[in-house]
Amino acid sequence: MADTGAGRFAPSPSGQLHVGNLRTAVLAWLFARSTGRRFLIRVEDLDRVRVRAGAEAEQLAELTALGLASDEPVLRQSEHVPRYTAALEQLMARGLAYECFCTRRDVAEAASAPHGRPGFYPGTCRSLGEDERARRRLERRPALRLRSAVDSWTVEDLLAGRVTAPVDDLVLRRNDGVIAYNLAVVVDDAAQGIDQVVRGEDLLDSAPRQAYLASLLGLPSPTYAHVPLAVTAGGRRLAKRDGAVTLEDLAGQGSSAAAVLDEILASLGLPRGSLDAALAVFDPGRLPNHPWVVEPAVLFSTAAGPACTPSVPTDKVSP
């Protein structure tokens, strides 16, 4: 396929995908295909604490069951740590990273102080002297934070419009040595030629941070589209604890993967039947701008078709 840019879906292998995750994957595929881009799947598995054995295979099987396959071998972040380290060393060499000894409690307390900003790191360790840093290293291994030169950054989102959000001294490498999400995702998107990022709107505020970090590394910033989430009837973000919301659970209740895909497409105002039929009429400007309320007992109680438990095609699991 010609190099015309790419979109991606990048789950963390912490468990089975629920229908809200799968809806976002469908949207990422539709956005990519409708603009002539490649569609890539990336496994974000740097945080080994969150990774569950077998989850990657389950997730790839679930995506395959809906007809979503990567146009290139699946990339796993855990196999590309050297390139994140190289980016971090580039920032350090330019004086754009510093050691931080704060605990999560320290950060939370600073943010809740009278002049604190919720969720915003106030730069507590930014100006520590070398003697003080040396003393603190004996007590706690430091994280590395970005020495930001801005308070905010602005991006254009295809659905949300112009978005300006705070940019603080975000973590680049955790104190356990794991490269932080914001750095890894910026480096990966550039390395893979991903110039279109479609994901849930809960990540909208992170886009300016990532775009700013990309600018410091001399990397291009992708086009963003943050899509509405799937929520419960009470308005809470959908989670696997909300009942039969995974393909596997729904299969056990008699709903086929094709029937689940139909409900996802219907929730987007697109024709049921197939991804290709939906693609033929896909128009981002006509997508619903409100969350998808998921009530499994209602949505999937009449889903037709034989139950379909996803199986993993071996040619889609390993690069």
Binding residues for ATP: 240
Annotated binding site for Zn(2+): 100, 102, 121, 125
Query: CB neighbours of 53 closer than 8 A, spacing ≥ 6?
Result: none
Annotated binding site: 8-12, 44, 100, 102, 121, 125, 181, 199, 240
For the stretch 294-298, contacts whose Cβ atoms lie closer than 8 Å and that sit 24 or more positions apart, written own/partner, are 294/19, 294/20, 294/230, 294/231, 294/232, 294/238, 294/242, 294/245, 295/232, 295/233, 296/242, 296/243, 296/244, 296/245, 296/250, 297/243
DSSP 295-314: -HHHHSTT--S--------H
For residue 128, count CB atoms less than 10 angstroms from its CB and return exposed for 0-12, middle for 13-18, buried for 19 or more: middle
CA distance 31 to 110: 40
DSSP secondary structure code for residue 124 in this structure: T
Annotated binding site for L-glutamate: 8-12, 44, 181, 199
DSSP H helices, 147-256, are: 181-191, 206-216, 247-252
List CB contacts of 294: < 8 A, sequence separation 6 or more: 19, 20, 230, 231, 232, 238, 242, 245
Q: Whose CA is closest to 47, among 143, 179, 175? A: 179
With a CB cutoff of 8 Å and minimum separation 6, the contacts of 24 are 9, 198, 199, 200, 227
The HSE-up count of residue 242 (CA atoms within 13 Å, CB side) is: 21
